[in-house]
Amino acid sequence: MKKYFAFVCLILLSACALQVGAEAPELMTPVMLRHDTFFVERGRVANVDHHRATVRTESEGLTFAEASLMPFGEFLVLAGQEVRAGDVLAVLDTSQIDERIERRRERINDLAVEHGHQNRRMERGIAIAQLELLSLTRQIEEAEGQPPEHLLEAADLKRIEIQRRQVEFDQARDWQSFNVSYYQSDLNEMLSQLRDAELVAPFDGVVVYRADIHQGSWLEAFSPIIFLSDESYLFAEYTGPSQPSIARGATIVGVVNGNYYAMERVILPANELLFFTRAGGTAPLRFAFTDEPGEDVRPGQIINIRSYMAVQDDVLRIPINALFMSPELGSYVNLLENGVSVMQPVEVGLRTRAWIEIRSGLLEGDEIIVQQ
- Could you report the per-residue pLDDT of 138-155, keeping only the tens digit for each? 998 888 778 888 989 999
pLDDT at 68: 66
Distance CA 159, CA 166 (A): 11
CA 280 to chain centre: 18
pLDDT at 156: 94
Torsion of CA 289, 292, 296, 301, to 10 degrees: 20
pLDDT at 269: 80
Across all residues in the chain, what is the average pLDDT?
A: 85
pLDDT at 112: 94
- Could you report the per-residue pLDDT of 176-208, keeping only the tens digit for each? 999 999 999 999 988 888 888 889 999 998 898
Average pLDDT over residues 205-226: 87
Distance CA 65, CA 287 (A): 29
Average pLDDT over residues 251-263: 91
- For 84-124, give the DSSP string: -TT-EEEEE--HHHHHHHHHHHHHHHHHHHHHHHHHHHHHH
* Domain ranges across the chain: 1-59+224-372, 64-91+199-221, 96-196
Alpha helices in the chain (DSSP H): 2-16, 95-142, 149-196, 270-278
Under the banding of pLDDT at 50, 70 and 90, the label for residue 15 is very low
